[in-house]
């Protein structure tokens, strides 16, 4: 078998995984933990739409929409007429259709119609494929995969000098996505896990049957992700003519949007749900849990006013 570049391997493995498996058997995302997450994002989108001048034909887009839970929750606070999902999995499209039957589905950002647009991606960027490079004796090599193992080949990609065995990841697919948002003059909001600043290191991980596993071991049966390099994506967006806001920690963003107040309000109205709602809110905002690990970054047109949640 010819060695396969790692990002190609990761893309193929994740496409098979999402086509054939229910990812929520292996992990849980914020919208699945509490409806409040989607509701405050819907309120955020409504305010942003008003800041855009309330265009009548706004397109509300979710990239990688899971089972459609977040979009359904968002629409309670922002019932946009033009709802879209960027989703390649036919199985997930069917689940999204059950919850948001009037939506439109697309394979990529390029397939979306022209016009005013708000795009939201929660845990979308981390699943996009990364290239991996490793320094050996002062020379950078790129990782390929063959027969379930890494194969290293010299690369012409120019990378900064680093100590031997340093791993550097490069997400060209994610950079292309944010450049696409910039070229459309759209508003994009991304919530994902990763560091504030770019840093060398290997972050690729795989989840198989709710446990961490070797990313090369069961391709197509495990979810493979990598930390999002927000600084690199911000640089890509700005190079394409957009502005960026953030990244900031998820707990600061959600708190600024009234996440805790809405949780308390819902808990008081639904005593049977109160404990689960408050536990979910704690998990999403606690600095030792998802509150600090997850970051929030927006891409917007140059000179756009400060977006809700990014005031500090």
Which DSSP category does 125 fall into?
Answer: G
**pLDDT score, position 119:** 98
Please check the confidence at residue 232 and state whether its pLDDT lies above 80: yes
Q: Is it the case that residue 24 has pLDDT exceeding 80?
A: no
Sign of CA dihedral 188, 191, 192, 195: positive
Which sign, positive or negative, has the C-alpha torsion 63, 40, 232, 306?
A: positive
Q: How many CB atoms lie within 10 A of CB 17?
A: 23
Q: What is the pLDDT of residue 85?
A: 98
Phi, psi for residue 101 in degrees, rounded to 5: -70, -15
Q: With a cut of 80, say whether residue 153 has pLDDT above it.
A: yes
- Report cis status (omega within 30 of 0) of the bond before 247: yes
Once rounded to an integer, what is the mean pLDDT over residues 73-94? 95
d(CA 234, CA 29): 24
pLDDT mean over 78-102 = 95
Label residue 124 by pLDDT band (50, 70, 90): very high
Q: Are 43 and 68 in contact (CB under 8 A)?
A: no
Look at residue 26 and tell me whether its pLDDT is greater than 80.
no
SS3 call for 258: coil
Q: What is the tens place of the pLDDT at every residue in 259-295?
A: 999 999 999 999 999 999 999 999 999 999 899 999 9
- 189: closest CA among 66, 75, 41? 41
Measured CA to CA, the distance from residue 43 to residue 55 in angstroms comes to 16
State how far the Cα of 261 lies from the Cα of 107, in Å rounded to an integer.
37
The pLDDT score that the predictor gives to residue 23 is 78
Contact (CB, 8 A) for 158 and 227: no
**pLDDT reported for residue 64:** 95
The CA-atom distances, in angstroms, between 267 and each of 208, 270, 272, 273 are 34, 5, 8, 6
- State residue 126's pLDDT score: 97
- pLDDT for 192 equals 98
pLDDT of residue 257: 98
**Single pTM value for the model:** 0.96
Is the pLDDT score of 224 beyond 80?
A: yes
Residue 65 has pLDDT above 80, yes or no: yes
When the pLDDT of each residue in the chain is averaged and rounded to a whole number, the result is: 96
120: β partners: 62, 189
Q: Is the pLDDT of residue 28 over 90?
A: no
Task: State residue 267's pLDDT score.
Answer: 97
pLDDT for res 209: 84
The predicted structure's pLDDT at residue 201: 94
- Domains located in the chain, CATH noted: 10-128+172-301 (3.40.50.12710)
Residue 219 phi/psi, 5-degree rounding, is -60, 130
For residue 304, the 8-state DSSP code is P
Q: How far apart are CA 280 and CA 68, in angstroms?
A: 19
What does R_g of the chain's alpha carbons equal in angstroms?
20
Query: What is the percent of the chain with per-residue pLDDT over 70, rounded to a whole number?
Result: 100
Residue count (the chain): 312
Find all residues with CB under 8 Å of 168, minimum gap 6, and list them: 132, 133, 134, 135, 140, 159, 162, 200
> pLDDT band at residue 1, thresholds of 50, 70 and 90?
confident
| Confidence at residue 80, expressed as pLDDT on a 0 to 100 scale | 81
pLDDT tens for 181-213 read 999 999 999 999 999 999 999 999 999 888 899
Residue 220 corresponds to which tokens in the numbers above?
A: 């197509």
Separation of alpha carbons 63 and 71, rounded Å:
10
């Amino acid at each position: 078998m010819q060695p396969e570049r790692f990002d190609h391997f990761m893309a193929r493995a994740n496409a098979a995984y999402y086509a054939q498996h229910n990812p929520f058997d292996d992990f849980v995302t914020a919208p699945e933990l509490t409806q409040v997450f989607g509701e405050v994002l819907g309120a955020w989108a409504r305010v942003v739409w008003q800041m855009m001048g309330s265009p009548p034909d706004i397109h509300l887009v979710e990239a990688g929409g899971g089972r459609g839970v977040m979009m359904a929750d968002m629409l309670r606070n922002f019932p946009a007429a033009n709802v879209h999902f960027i989703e390649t999995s036919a199985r997930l499209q069917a689940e999204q259709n059950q919850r948001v039957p009037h939506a439109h589905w697309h394979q990529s950002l390029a397939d979306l119609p022209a016009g005013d647009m708000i795009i939201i991606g929660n845990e979308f960027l981390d699943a996009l494929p990364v290239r991996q490079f490793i320094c050996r004796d002062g020379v950078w090599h790129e990782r390929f995969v063959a027969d379930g193992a890494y194969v290293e080949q010299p690369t012409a990609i120019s990378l900064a000098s680093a100590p031997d065995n340093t791993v550097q990841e490069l997400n060209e697919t994610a950079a292309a996505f944010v450049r696409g948002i910039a070229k459309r003059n759209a508003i994009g909001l991304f919530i994902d896990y990763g560091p504030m600043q770019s840093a060398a290191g290997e972050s690729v991980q795989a989840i198989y049957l709710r446990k961490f596993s070797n990313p090369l071991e069961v391709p197509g049966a495990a979810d493979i992700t990598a930390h999002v390099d927000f600084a690199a994506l911000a640089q890509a967006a700005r190079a394409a003519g957009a502005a960026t806001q953030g990244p900031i920690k998820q707990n600061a963003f959600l708190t600024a949007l009234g996440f805790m107040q809405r949780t308390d309000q819902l808990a008081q109205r639904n005593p049977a749900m109160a404990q689960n709602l408050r536990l979910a809110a704690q998990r999403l905002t606690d600095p030792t849990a998802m509150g600090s690990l997850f970051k929030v970054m927006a891409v917007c047109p140059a000179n756009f006013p400060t977006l809700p949640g990014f005031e500090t």
